[in-house]
Amino acid sequence: MKHDCPSIAAVIKTSSYFSSSLLLAPGLFFFSFLFSHSSQAQGIVEGPIMLTGEHETGCLTGGISGNGRYIFGLNPDNSFRYDLETKESYYPPEQHQIVSVFDNGDMLIFVVKGNGGVITEADNKFTAFTSPDPEYPFVGPMFASADGKYICGNVAKEKGGFLHSNLLLEYGKKMARTSFPS
């Protein structure tokens, strides 16, 4: 008479695999725990930073540079740029709003009643943009690529009226309008 029971050899072989995996399980669990916590620790390098300066508390956070070194904020009257490496803030003149920070620390500036431009990190010098069209003399830069090479914004006939025409420029080269008002 034939039985469907496994042989003794098969039972011993299966149980040895099972007991080996039970012996390895705690080690595998420990390594998975270790690696999961080390990867979580790499996510946040530094704890939360709270900026408490007068300008910083009065401004909304505007953004962060592409390389993560600079954060900036703005309101209608003031703005700031904070360097996470040096732990120092920079404050441009009143009504010069930082709207973007390049990876090198240069700042794209929107001027409330005038032409926008760039303030350089090296000397904190403001250089205003000039419009490619005398009919629309006021330049309002709004966004820039992380390397600062490409900047887009608007031009207008009147100060503060930056809703009329789109603008794209390569920083350091002559600006070009990409659309014209009708």
CA-based nearest residue to 108, from 173, 152, 66, 78: 152
Determine which of 9-13, 88-92, 131-135 has the lowest per-residue pLDDT on average: 9-13
Query: Residue 166: inside a domain, yes or no?
Result: yes
The pLDDT, as a whole number, for residue 24 is: 47
Confidence of residue 148 (pLDDT cuts 50, 70, 90): confident
**Whether the predicted pLDDT of 121 surpasses 70:** yes
In the chain, pLDDT over 90 holds for what percent of residues? Answer: 29
CB 155 within 8 A of CB 164: yes
Query: Residue 20: inside a domain, yes or no?
Result: no
Strand order in the sheet with 150-156: 138-144, 150-156, 165-170, 176-177
- How far is 80 from 54, CA to CA, in rounded Å? 10
CA-based nearest residue to 128, from 136, 174, 156, 119: 119
Query: Residue 17: inside a domain, yes or no?
Result: no
Could you write out the DSSP letters of every residue in 72-100? EEE-SS-EEEEETTTTEEE-PPTTEEEEE
pTM of this prediction?
0.66
Q: How many domains does the chain have?
A: 1
| Residues 80-112 pLDDT 10s | 999 999 999 999 998 899 999 999 999 999 988
Query: Residue 2: inside a domain, yes or no?
Result: no
In the chain, pLDDT over 70 holds for what percent of residues? Answer: 60
- Residue 131: both structure tokens together: 């419009």
Q: Determine the structural domain holding residue 88 and report its residue range.
A: 58-179
Query: Residue 19: inside a domain, yes or no?
Result: no
